[in-house]
């Protein structure tokens, strides 16, 4: 979650959130949000928690807002406690817990912070508005690419 804010026409000044570590990943994950597939996220539990239920956020892809989401629930749990239901809500890859664990472990290992007992903040949210019609039109292609990449990754890694 980012701490910056942006003026969103019709919504006023909203805090920004970004899913992913590059502009390309931000775009892909934002498309999953718009497609209704991504309805949750996690971040390092040692970081500050900037959200509470009822907050609205501008979902960013690069420098542009593409959607508005509203936080439904937020809390903390350990990495190893993430279950199938949450992995499905997070909606990345093929939606499986296997995919979730592999990609999130890889992410946290790259930052040097992975531990199966590490605390994570988790958040469930709902899509309130789509701002970027072009990304909405491309969302089904992003979903298909995400699923194909997950199949390829899980097959290659066994």
If phi over 0 gives left and psi between -120 and 50 gives alpha, with beta otherwise, what is residue 104? Answer: alpha
Kindly list the averaged pLDDT for each block of 10 residues, start to end, along the chain of length 158.
80 95 93 98 93 96 96 97 97 95 93 93 98 96 92 84
Three state DSSP letters for 10-45: CCEEEEEECCCCCHHHHHHHHHHHHCCCCCEEEEEC
User: So what's the pLDDT on residue 113?
Assistant: 86
- Show Cβ contacts of residue 8 under 8 Å, excluding neighbours closer than 6 positions: 14, 58, 65, 68, 131
User: So what's the pLDDT on residue 63?
Assistant: 92
Instruction: Label residue 133 exposed, middle or buried (CB < 10 Å: 0-12, 13-18, 19+).
Output: exposed
Q: What is the pTM of this model?
A: 0.93
Q: What is the C-alpha to C-alpha distance for residues 67 and 75, in angstroms, rounded to an integer?
A: 23
CB 44 within 8 A of CB 77: no
The full set of domains in the chain, from first to last, is: 5-157 (3.10.400.10)
């Amino acid at each position: 979650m980012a701490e910056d804010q942006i003026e969103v026409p019709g919504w006023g000044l909203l805090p920004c959130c970004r899913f992913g570590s590059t502009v390309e990943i931000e775009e892909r994950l934002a498309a999953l949000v718009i497609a209704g597939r991504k309805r949750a996220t996690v971040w390092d539990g040692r970081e500050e928690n900037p959200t509470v239920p009822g907050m609205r956020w501008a979902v960013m892809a690069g420098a542009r807002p593409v959607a508005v989401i509203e936080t439904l629930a937020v809390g903390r749990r350990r990495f190893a406690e993430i279950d199938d239901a949450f992995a499905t809500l997070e909606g990345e890859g093929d939606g499986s817990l296997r995919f979730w664990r592999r990609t999130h472990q890889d992410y946290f290992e790259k930052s040097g912070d992975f531990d199966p007992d590490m605390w994570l903040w988790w958040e469930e949210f709902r899509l309130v508005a789509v701002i970027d019609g072009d990304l909405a039109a491309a969302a089904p292609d992003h979903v298909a690419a995400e699923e194909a990449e997950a199949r390829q990754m899980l097959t290659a890694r066994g």
